[in-house]
Amino acid sequence: MDDNTFASPYRRRLLFYAVILLFLFLIMQLFRLQIVTNKFYSDKSNENSIKAEVLSPPRGIFYDRNMHILVGNKPAYTLEITPAYFDSSLAPLVEKAIGENEGYISSVLDRTKKIPSFLPRKIKRDINFKALALLEENHEHFDGTKYVIELKRDYSFGINGAHLFGYTKEIDPELLRERKDQYQIGDYIGYGGIEKNYEYLVKGTKGYLYYLVDSRQRIISRYENGKKDIQPDRGYDLVLTIDKSVQKVAELAFEGKKGALVAIEPLTGEILALVSAPAFDLQEFATTTSSEFLNSLNSNVDKPMFNRATMSRNPPGSTFKMLLAITALEEGIITTKYTVTCGGSFQFGNRPFKCTHVHGSVNVTRAIEKSCNVFFYNLMLKVGLDKWSEYGSRFGFGEKTGIDISEESNGIMPSRNYFDRVYGKGKWTDGYLISLAIGQGEVVTTPVQLAQYAALLANEGKTKIPHVLKGYIDNQNNSFVPIEFGDFTVDISKETFNIIREGMRLVVEGEGTAAHIRQKKFDIAGKTGTAQNPHGENHALFIGFAPFNNPQIAVAVIVENAGYGSTHAAPIARDVMKEYLKNITTNKSELIAKNAGGIIN
């Protein structure tokens, strides 16, 4: 019998089963493509056929506490080039039109070469009208070029506020890697100050226009007639605690000077004015900032980019005498009956420590009024380092205040551990404490710390964390949304505060070191200071508050390399207080709620 007789049915069955398996496989693949992975491939197809054009949202603008504009926006024209369609031989002509050197366009395109060539690149922001006209008139010859209308920051509202506001600039590559889910190359982002800290509120949300394109990414038409387009949402407008007129007075006072000023509302911790001098011109950061300008800032020995209000660290001088007096009174070491006889100097070991004058017999109130060094030299030795350092820490010295605008320094509040670490355990003596008594030596503070200290003295130990944001305007309903900040309190008896505050009142209203800034319409309480500076002229300081019986403003001023606090710092504080108390509004929250809708619409 032929073997093929048996093999033939067997082979037919194998072939039958193979065909069945092949059809089952094809059905499963069809099911996977049509059902399981349909959305994935549909999205991929759309990516190849739909092009999205980004619409940048307007950044939120800044208002002061009385709804006056501080920082706004204004239109600017930006040149964009899509490399896939751009004839590089025309680059020199375009570069000449926009005022850039030959090779500028290729350098920008090289930086972004990892991005698909059919996507546009921002070449230059804020091109002038002449360049715009040339591009418009010859548009048919410049394939791949176009201009878009964007918004740039407008700083034409009468104040500088460089360190307060911060600035915006194109996001740098390192930051872009960190935030690639939120930003794209060419996007602007806040750097420093309010712009950085509240970027999440002011940046807004991008919009998109969708187009149908062919395989070469050429636009065919609008996708679904624009029904799928997404409009950008503008950023929230911020209402700041700043008083525009007070800020302006403070800035004018610091023209030609180095130093800082922080004015604060004692009860709320709201910053009314903040100045760091010298500053820089924010207009230079409104669009593309030239390398020459940046180099001039970075090479300037006066460091105009450095925020002295929050970062500078200097001895507080005699403004620190109240802290020592509070420690002694609270610990029961002295009362108002305790007196010291000042003969013009204090002897410790073989070294004499001078006083400003011969004051005779003085108690704590009189010592503050006359700024008697001898009284506080004696007092420091009675109080000791540990208690003095403890109370300094209670008032926030040696720690950041938490102000909401930029980087901040801790300062230094020396303690026993600090001295042991710096000088070695057992290698320092009580002689090191003498300078601390008058705010010299190892203790250093920042202007914002001194402003918080002044606020605590003004409001008997109660304030809030210093801040410059009052709230924002909700775009959906034009309602004002307040932002709350935490309390900062110091548990000191009312009796002690009364004694200290009276001494500060007499500094101005009595026969003290700042009697020349006395005002007829309100009483000022304050304290002058002159901090030794090993690198040049002494620094002039003043802290104070007004009106004495109902404090509405507390101020800290430091003028670097100026000399005496009574001469150079106290008059600046007086002028700032006068301006604020002249214009103060009793119910600011109602004013904001009343005006917000009308201004935003």
Domain match, 423 and 324 both: yes
User: Is residue 42, in this structure, part of any structural domain at all?
Assistant: no
Q: What's the pLDDT at 215?
A: 65
Q: What's the pLDDT at 208?
A: 87
Task: Check: CB of residue 592 under 8 Å from CB of residue 480.
Answer: yes
User: Is residue 598, in this structure, part of any structural domain at all?
Assistant: no
Please, what is the average pLDDT of the chain? 88
Rounded mean pLDDT, 272-296: 85
pLDDT at residue 226 is higher than 90: no
Q: What's the pLDDT at 122?
A: 81
Domain match, 31 and 132 both: no
pLDDT at residue 377 is higher than 90: yes
| pLDDT band of 509, cuts 50, 70, 90 | very high
Q: What's the pLDDT at 462?
A: 97
CATH number at residue 224: 3.90.1310.10
Domain match, 284 and 157 both: no
Domain match, 130 and 254 both: no
Domain match, 234 and 248 both: no
| CB environment 285-311: b (16+ within 10 A), e (fewer) | bbbbeeeeeeeeeeeeeeebbebbbbb
pLDDT at residue 115 is higher than 80: no
| pLDDT band of 39, cuts 50, 70, 90 | low
Q: What's the pLDDT at 601?
A: 33
- Residue 487: CB partners within 8 Å, gap ≥ 6? 462, 463, 464, 465
Ranges assigned E (strand) in 173-258: 188-191, 207-213, 219-222, 237-240
End of a domain among 220, 238, 256? 238
End of a domain among 190, 221, 238? 238
Distance CA 470, CA 66 (A): 11
Q: What's the pLDDT at 587?
A: 42
Beta bridge partners of 485: none
Rounded mean pLDDT, 197-221: 83
Domain match, 147 and 258 both: no
pLDDT at residue 586 is higher than 50: no
Instruction: Give the least confident one: 292-301, 378-387, 542-551.
Output: 292-301
Query: In percent, how much of the chain has pLDDT > 90?
Result: 57
Domain match, 278 and 175 both: no
Q: What's the pLDDT at 597?
A: 46
pLDDT in tens, 71-91: 999 988 888 888 877 877 788
Distance CA 218, CA 215 (A): 7
Q: What's the pLDDT at 600?
A: 41
Domain match, 166 and 277 both: no
pLDDT at residue 6 is higher than 70: no
User: Is residue 599, in this structure, part of any structural domain at all?
Assistant: no
Domain match, 540 and 435 both: yes
The pair of structure tokens assigned to 116 is: 């698909």
Q: What's the pLDDT at 552?
A: 97
Rounded mean pLDDT, 63-70: 96
User: Is residue 46, in this structure, part of any structural domain at all?
Assistant: no
Query: In percent, how much of the chain has pLDDT > 70?
Result: 91
pTM of the predicted model as reported, rounded to 2 decimal places = 0.85
Rounded (5°) CA angle 266-69-596: 80
Rounded mean pLDDT, 489-505: 98
Rounded mean pLDDT, 522-533: 93
Q: How far apart are the first and last CA of the chain?
A: 102
Domain match, 406 and 350 both: yes
Domain match, 306 and 192 both: no
Q: What's the pLDDT at 596?
A: 52
Amino acid letter for position 454: A
pLDDT in tens, 423-450: 999 889 888 899 999 999 999 999 999 9
End of a domain among 238, 257, 279? 238
Q: What's the pLDDT at 3?
A: 53
CATH number at residue 543: 3.40.710.10
User: Is residue 64, in this structure, part of any structural domain at all?
Assistant: yes
Q: Which residue has the higher pLDDT, 570 or 213?
A: 570
| pLDDT band of 38, cuts 50, 70, 90 | low
Q: How many domains are there within the chain?
A: 3
User: Is residue 494, in this structure, part of any structural domain at all?
Assistant: yes
Q: What's the pLDDT at 590?
A: 47
pLDDT in tens, 309-322: 999 999 999 999 99
User: Is residue 182, in this structure, part of any structural domain at all?
Assistant: yes
User: Is residue 43, in this structure, part of any structural domain at all?
Assistant: no
Domain match, 313 and 441 both: yes
pLDDT at residue 598 is higher than 90: no
Q: Residue 185's domain spans which residues?
A: 51-238
pLDDT at residue 163 is higher than 80: yes
